[in-house]
Structure formats: C-alpha cells, structure tokens
Structure 1
Amino acid sequence: MADLVPGLLFCLMAVQTIQHDGNRTRTNISTGVIPKTFKGRTYKCNHTNQLPDPLHPSTNPWLYVNPEDPVTAYTTGILSTRVIPSSYILAMLVGIPSNAYILGFLQVKLRAKSISTVILYLNLALSDLLLLLSLALRVHYHFNGNNWIFGETACRLIAALFYGNVYCSAQTIACISLKRYLAVVRPFLYRRLTKTPLAAGTCLVVWFLFGAAIVPELLVRQSYQVTQLGVTTCHDVLPLEEKSHSPLVLYRLMLVCLGFIVPFLVCIYAHVAVVYHLGQSGCDWRPFIRVSTLVFVIFVVCFLPSAILHIAHYIRLFSTGDDRLYGYYRVAVCLCCFHSCLDPFLCLLVSRTAASELQFISLRAIPQRPTVMT
C-alpha cells in the first residue's frame, strides 16, 4: 500500500507538468508580502472600461490575472477540474465510512485498560472525518470548473476546516508516537503518568491549536471573481497586493512549522528510538516493528510532499514572484486526504500489536530478579 502512494503522487504531478507545456509563464517581481495562492490584482479605476459582464448572482469583488500566468492553466486544466476532485471522491468513499466505523469501534474499546490510547485514536478519527466531510463542497467546486457558488461564508469555513484538520491530524499522530516512545523507551516514567487525564488534556490542546489556526482564514476574504476566466474562485486566487492579506504569509509559515515540521521531527525521533530499543531486547519484536515502520512511512509519504512544496512555493514567490508551484502543492495536499482514509486501517493494524507493546512495557518496568542457582 505504501508503494502505491508515491506512484499516485508521481502520476498527478506528471499531469500538472503536461498541463504547463507550451504555456510560458511570465515572471513578475513582487515587492509585497505574498500568501500561498495564485496572484491576482484588484481592479482599479483605469480598468473600468475593461470590465466584463458580472457573474450573476455573485457579488464578489473582481480580480485580474494575466492569461499567460499558471493560474489559467491550473483553473481550466484537467488536473484541477477532474483529477483532484476524483481523488477527493475516492478518499471520501473509503475514509468516511471507515472513520465512522472506527469511532464506534473505539467507543467500545473505552472499557479496556488502555483508555489513553483509545482517546488519542478517537481524536484522530474525528479530525480525519471532519477533513473528509469538508471535501464535499470542494468536489463540486472543482467539477464546476473551479467556480464557487456557495458564498463567501461557506468558502472561508471550508478553507479553514480543510487546512486546520490536516495539521490537526498530523499533531495527533505525533502525540500517539510520543506516547509509544514513553511506553517503550521510558517505561518507569510512563507508569507514573496519569495517562487518561493527560491524553484528554492533550486532545484539548490540539483542538485549541486547531481553533487558533483557522481564525486568520476566517477573517479575510477567500472568494473572488476572476474576470478573464469567468469563474469565482475560492482560496485559490487572492489579491496579494492588498494589506488585508499580507499577514497570511507569517501565519501560514508558522502553521506549516508548528503544524507539520514539529510533529514530523517528533515522529522521526520517536520511531527511531522505539525501533532501536525493541531491537536491543532479547525477544522477537519484528511484527510490532514492521507495523510501526509502516505507519511511519505512510505518514511521511502523505504529509512530507505538501510541506516541502509549501515551503518551496514561498521561496520561489519571494525570490522571483513565480507562483507555478501552487498547482503542485494542491496535488500534494491530496495525499494528506488519502492519509485520512488510511488511518482507520492503520488503527486496526496497530491494535493487533498492542499486546506485544504492553508485554514489552511490563518487561521493562518490572525489575528482573537474578536467577538463583541451586
């Protein structure tokens, strides 16, 4: 399964590259602060006589884009109007029922001893389910030629829920990895912790960070009419020269660092330490190591490309004003959605190795008495 995900990313990015063949992009040097979307310009007075007929019944403000810019190829191309929404539909068909099942399955498991682990997985399933449900309107948006018809309020809410839940899932996975690290590498400390209240408090902190993360997206306009394309975009094209949108750059850089880079580093350290300590023990922990490695690899494959392209997009915007990487970034975000539909199956797989983990904890936490020769 892990091999299919990189192949899917390669195919999606190949489509994006083919779309840009023959479309030479004019590079514009921007002196303003640039958020992570395609660039658009609001109409000034000297453009009044060039305005096309308004897109009734929409009353959204107008943006101007150069027909040669990458936004034209992305907005009208097969990648954003067919491939991306089809990927979202596949993720929803698999992920929504499986996460709903996991929510019911884990509620039954709340009677078990490891309540703290169940709480963390419930939090992950809820975050994944909200992310997948937020894709419904985006599917219509993309199939409708990237034309948003649901109004500005819905656009802000969907954009905030989508990106907020992506990072909420990553943070929850980091918490699960840290718990596994404490259980295996620091068993004495782990046994002294009040695990259930700590797990519940951790989930509350994650949701508090989620709420704080989505506020900036809710405060600025997200939907604009793109006059040359005859559509109203949602989040994909923003007026980068406007002061109202300039604070987004600092917010989004902080979001990718705190929402993914920090959880990613935590997962790397925790996984390496757990595998090392299991390997040093005298018992055969290979099934548990294989499952843990599979979970870690899928996390890296699904989340790392979007983080790398996000940062690279900023670098190109600041250095050359080129925004063509945004299309690739949108492709990589699809992998985050696929991780949300894979989490329930990974949860069931990990639950089968829970007995091995508990056995290892008991062996490490209880001092072994020396054997007396008689």
Structure 2
Amino acid sequence: MADLVPGLLICLMAVQSSQQEGNSTRTKTNIQVGAIPKTFKGYKPNQTNQLPALIHPSSDPHLQVNPEDPVTAYTTGVLSTWVIPLTYILAMLVGVPSNAYILAFLRVRLSSKSFSTVVLYLNLALSDLLLLLSLGLRVHYHFNGNDWIFGEVSCRLITALFYGNVYCSAQTIAGISLKRYLAVVKPFLYRRMAKTTLALWTCLVIWILYGAAIVPELLVRQSYQITQLGITTCHDVLPLEEKSHFPLVPYRMVLVCLGFILPFLICIYAHVSVVYHLGQSACDWRPFIRVSTLVFVIFVVCFLPSGILHILHYIKLFSSGDDGLYGYYRVAVCLCCFHSCLDPFLCILVSKTAASELQFISLHGILQRPAVMT
C-alpha cells in the first residue's frame, strides 16, 4: 500500500506537467478569499473591454487571465476535468461508508473505560467524513469543465469544509500520536493525567483551529467568472492584486504551520520515540512496530506533499507572482482525501496486530499497555 500511493502521486504529477506545456483555451474563476495561497491569479478586466457573449448572465465579478499561464492548461486539461474528480469519487466510495460505520460503532463505546481514546477517534472519523462529503459538488464542478453552477454561498461552504477538515484531520492524528507517545514513553505521567479532560480539551482546540481555518473562506467571495473562457470557477482563481488579499498573507502562513507543519513534526517525534522505546524492551514488539511504521509512512506520504507544495506555492505566488505550482498542489490534496478514506482500515490493521502484552481496542484503539490507556 505504501508503494502504491507514491506511484499514484508520481503519475498524477506527470499528467500535470504534460498539460502545462500545451493547452491554452480556458481558465478558472475563484474566490476573493483574502490572500489564500492555494489559487491561481486573476485580474480585473479593463472597463473598456466587452464581456464575451458566452459569459453566463450574472452579477458576479469577472476576472481575466493570461492564456499563456498554467491556469489555462490546468482548467482545460485532463488532470482537473477527469483525473481529480475520479480520484474524489474513489475516495468517497470507500471513505464515506467506512467512516460512517466507525462513527456509529464508536458512539456506543462512549461509556467504555477507554473514553478518551474513543473521543479522539470519533473526532477523526467526523473530520474525515465531513471532508469526503464536501467532495460531492466539487466532482460535478470538475466534470463540468471547472464551471461552478451552484452559487456563491455553496462555493464558500464547500471550500471551507474541504480545507478546514484537511487541517482538522492532520491535527487529530497528531493528538492521537501524542497520546500514544505519553502512554509508551511516559507511562507514569500518563497514569496521573486526567485523560478524559485532556482528550476533550484537545478536540476543542482542534475545532477552534478549524473555525479559524474556515473563516476567510466564509467571509469573502469564492466564485468568479473568467471573461475569456465563459466559466465560473470556485476557489481556483483569485484577484490577487486586490488590496483585501494582502493583510491575510501572514495569517495564512501561520495557519499552514499550525495545520500541517506542527502536526507533522509531532507525529515524527512521537513515532520515532515510541519505536525506539519499544525496541529497547525485552518483549518482541516487531509486529506492532512494522504496522505502526506502515501507518506512519502512509500519513507522511499523504500529508507531506500537500504541506510542502502549499508553502512553496504560497512563497512563489507572493514573491514573484508565479502560480505554476497550484496544479501540483491540487494533485497532492487528493492524497489527503485518500488518507481520510484509509483511516478506518488503518485503525483495524493496528487493532489486529495483537503482539504479546499489547492490548488494542477493536477498530478504534491505539497502542495500549494493560490498565494504562483509558
């Protein structure tokens, strides 16, 4: 599985590269999201220019794009009109029923002794489910030639759900990893902790950060009409020359660090520490270490590319105006969706690794020591 996911990413990147060399017929419109970095640039049309007749009759603002820019190739190419929506459909078919089942299963376990663990996995399943459900309208959007027909309000809502839950999933996984670290590396401290209270506060902080992530998408315009192409895009092309975007540049960078970089560093440290301490034990922890490492590698493969490309695209966009990395970023985000649909199966895989004294909670458990992880 760990070999298949990187292969998929490489194939999708190759499709994007081939598209940007030739394809110059259409473009997308997007949000005035106050300096959100994951978009192409758009320009306000000159007042003297006449809008083409194929533009949908609407009072929505219009933008122009340079036909030679990567935005045109991305908007009209196979990557955005077929590969990405088909990837979303696959993730939804697998992830929606599995995460819904996990939610139903864990709900009846809230009164169990492992309440704190159940709460964290409920939080993860809910976040993954919301992320996957937000893909439905985006599938239609991409199949429709990147032409958004559902209105501005729905565009803001879908955009907020999509990106907010990507952050939320990564932060929840970091919280689970930290809990596992405390149980294995600091067992005496872990026994003295108020685990239920800590789990509830962790979830509360995560959802506060989730709210901070979605506010820009909900407060500003997300859909624009592209004058040359006659389409209305949703969160793909922004009027970056507008003054309203610049104050939010540092805000978005901080959000990327809190939503991607910090959870990633926590997961790395927690996993390495847990593996090291288990390796020093007299017991044979190799089955669990192998499975835990596989889960960690899948997390890295799914989240690290989007985090790196997000930051690089942000830096290039506002330093030199180059938005050529946006298509690659959209491919990398598909991997985040795959992780959301894989989470329930990864939990099952960990729970089935019944190594010697290890005790697992079926479907939603994380590494436990007897009478410790409660």
Instruction: Show the counterpart of 1:133.
Output: 133
TM-score (norm 1): 0.90
Alpha-carbon separation, structure 1, partners of 2:348 and 2:109: 12
Structure 2 contact 167–259 (Cα < 8 Å) conserved:
yes
Query: Following the alignment from structure 1 to structure 2, what is the Cα–Cα distance between the partners of residues 363 and 54?
Result: 68
TM superposition shift of 1:135: 0.3
**In terms of mean alpha carbon deviation, does 160-169 or 312-321 score higher?**
312-321
Deviation at 1:113, TM superposition (A): 2.2
Q: Where does residue 267 of structure 1 map in the other structure?
A: 267
1:16-62 superposed Cα distances (whole Å, 9 cap, x missing partner):
011012469xxxxxxxx783311111123233xx3212633432110
- Partners of 2:220 and 2:142 lie apart in 1 by 22
State the Cα distance separating 1:346 from its structure 2 match. 1.0
What corresponds to 2:38 in structure 1?
Answer: 36
> Which consecutive unaligned segments of at least 5 residues does structure 2 have?
25-34, 361-366
Residue aligning to 2:81: 81
Counterpart code for 2:46: K
CA–CA separation in structure 1 for the residues paired with 2:137 and 2:40: 20
Query: Does structure 2 conserve the Cα–Cα contact (< 8 Å) formed by 1:156 and 1:222?
Result: yes
**CA deviation map 1:290-328 (0-9, x unaligned):** 121111111100000001111111232234321111000
Cα distance per residue 1:186-242 (max 9 Å; x no partner): 000100111112112211111111112111111111100001111000010010011
TM-score normalised over the length of structure 2:
0.90
Correspondence list, 1:290-309, <5 A: 290-309=290-309
Is the 1:174–1:266 contact (alpha carbons within 8 Å) kept by the matching residues of 2? yes
Q: Equivalent pairs: percent with the same residue? A: 79
Conserved in 2, the CA contact under 8 Å of 1:34 and 1:318? Answer: no
How far did 1:114 drift?
Answer: 1.6
| Root mean square deviation, CA, Å | 2.1
Higher mean displacement: 250-259 or 298-307: 250-259
**Code of the aligned partner of 2:318:** F
In structure 2, give the amino acid aligned to 1:330. R
8 Å Cα contact 2:56-2:230 kept in structure 1 = no
Distance in 2, matches of 1:266 and 1:247, equals: 29
> Which aligned pairs between 1:1-374 and structure 2 lie closer than 5 A?
1-22=1-22, 35-47=37-49, 50-53=50-53, 55-353=55-353, 356=358, 361-362=369-370
SS for the counterpart of 2:358 is helix
Please state whether the residue corresponding to 2:58 is helix, strand or coil.
coil
The Cα of 1:250 is off from its aligned counterpart by 2.1
Letter in 2 for 1:155: C
| Contact 2:183-2:372 within 8 A present in 1 as well | no
Aligned residues: 356
Distance 2:368 2:41 in 1: 54
Please, which runs of 5 or more residues in structure 1 have no aligned partner? 25-32, 366-374
CA distance in 2, matches of 1:79, 1:101: 32
d(CA) in 1 for partners of 2:368, 2:172: 23
- DSSP 3-state at the match of 1:109: coil
54-63 vs 126-135, greater mean Cα deviation: 54-63
In 1, the alpha carbon distance for the partners of 2:225 and 2:204 equals 38
Which amino acid in structure 2 is aligned with residue 38 of structure 1? F
Seen in structure 2, the aligned counterparts of structure 1 residues 185 and 34 have a Cα distance that, compared at 3 Å, is closer
Amino acid at match of 1:228: Q
| In structure 1, C-alpha distance between the alignment counterparts of 2:79 and 2:330, rounded to whole Å | 10
In 1, distance between residues paired with 2:14 and 2:126? 33
Deviation at 1:124, TM superposition (A): 0.1
Post-superposition offset of 1:363: 9.7
Closer, same or farther: CA 281–363 of 1 in aligned 2, 3 Å: farther
2:252 partner letter:
R
| SS of equivalent to 2:42 | strand
Post-superposition offset of 1:255 = 1.6
Contact 1:305–1:332 (CA under 8 A) maintained in structure 2? yes
CA distance in 2, matches of 1:131, 1:337: 7
* Distance (whole Å) between structure 1 residues aligned to residue 109 and residue 323 of structure 2: 47
